[in-house]
Amino acid sequence: MIYTKLPHTDIEVSKICLGTMTWGNQNTEAEGHEQMDYALDQGVNFFDTAELYPIPAHPDRHSLTEKIIGTWFKKTGNRDKIILASKIAGKADFTKFIRTTGFNRDSIIEAVEGSLERLQTDYIDLYQLHWPERTTNYFGERGYTHDISDHWQDNIHQVLETLRDLIREGKIRHVGISNETPWGTMRYLEESKVHATLPRSITVQNPYSLLNRQFEVGMSEIAMREQIGLLAYSPLGFGVLSGKYLGDRKPDGARITLFPNYKRYSNETAVAATQKYYELARQNDLSLAQMSLAFVNSRPFLTSNIIGATSMKQLEENIASIDIALSDAVLKGIEAIHDQIPNPAP
């Protein structure tokens, strides 16, 4: 395993992070425990979860993923071996069953305390805002439509104050943001620079893959100059970059087969790009999944690559991507395809 440091800390995390959002729906508790056992054995010490998981969001499955992690901690006593990240859900129609009050002080405190109880731990190493509460573009929206009535920026100070107080209480150690734009990222950073007692956001969890390299436009410079590390999610684009959906296939039990509304990475242009990446991988004796993950692993702005799996075979392949160094020929081939079909799946 390769390790990096969470920016502005001395905390070492594996460059492969274990994503958990299928546990409690596509995966059972026993399967989640098996994945954690294997990942830890392979040197993965960084787990990412959220109060929302598993996905799709549903009142009957709310927060089952955190509970599965909690029972593993209790069974194994491995809490001190893991750097644990979780998130508070943002405002949305599909999260009304969790709460409707957004990121106000009481909501953040409630979310943290609920996660701590489910996770059976006294602290969370990295606590993140799952997506912006303000009106902006994320989750696959390309363009930004401004709403002059949205004054959410006025709440940033209050959000950071609440997180600061939770840090002082020892309930969380560090904070991060997720699904953020360049503007939002800089606002959080500037607020903590101007007010020295407020916590600095040390990571941003955004999508990044061969099908969506938009992080490179604007965000990558911020990541490098401000030292806010990318936690890349959907590095396989909901499994599209495994190649298993090519040829209009719908494998039994696969995410897009089960949840066809999750089509963010499955539009016609994205499928065409995936086919080209598949052919490039095959020409170089690589699996498409490992080429895709190895590319993400190689980016200089990456802190950790969040992989997820529903089977142990997938998990083994995904973690093993850390051992793959892409040749110059493969990297040039990737750039040639990217030039032809840039960012087909935002």
Which of the following is catalytic: 53, 188, 233, 265?
Answer: 53
Q: What distance in Å separates the CA atoms of residue 305 and residue 317, rounded to the nearest whole number?
A: 14
Helix 328-340 with 288-297: angle, nearest 10 deg: 90
Q: Is 173 left (phi over 0), alpha (psi -120 to 50) or beta?
A: alpha
Q: Is 43 left (phi over 0), alpha (psi -120 to 50) or beta?
A: left
Instruction: Specify the amino acid at residue 310.
Output: T
Instruction: Check if the beta carbon of residue 213 is closer than 8 Å to that of residue 342.
Output: yes
Beta strand residue intervals within the chain, DSSP E: 3-5, 12-14, 16-19, 46-48, 83-88, 124-129, 172-178, 201-207, 229-233, 302-307
**DSSP conformational letter for 210:** T
User: Which two three-digit tokens encode residue 157?
Assistant: 């100070």
Q: What distance in Å separates the CA atoms of residue 199 and residue 187, rounded to the nearest whole number?
A: 13
**Helix and strand numbers, DSSP H then E, in the chain:** 11, 10
DSSP H or E run through 297: helix 288-297
To the query of whether residue 53 is one of the catalytic residues in this protein, the response is: yes
Task: Tell me which residues are annotated as active site.
Answer: 53
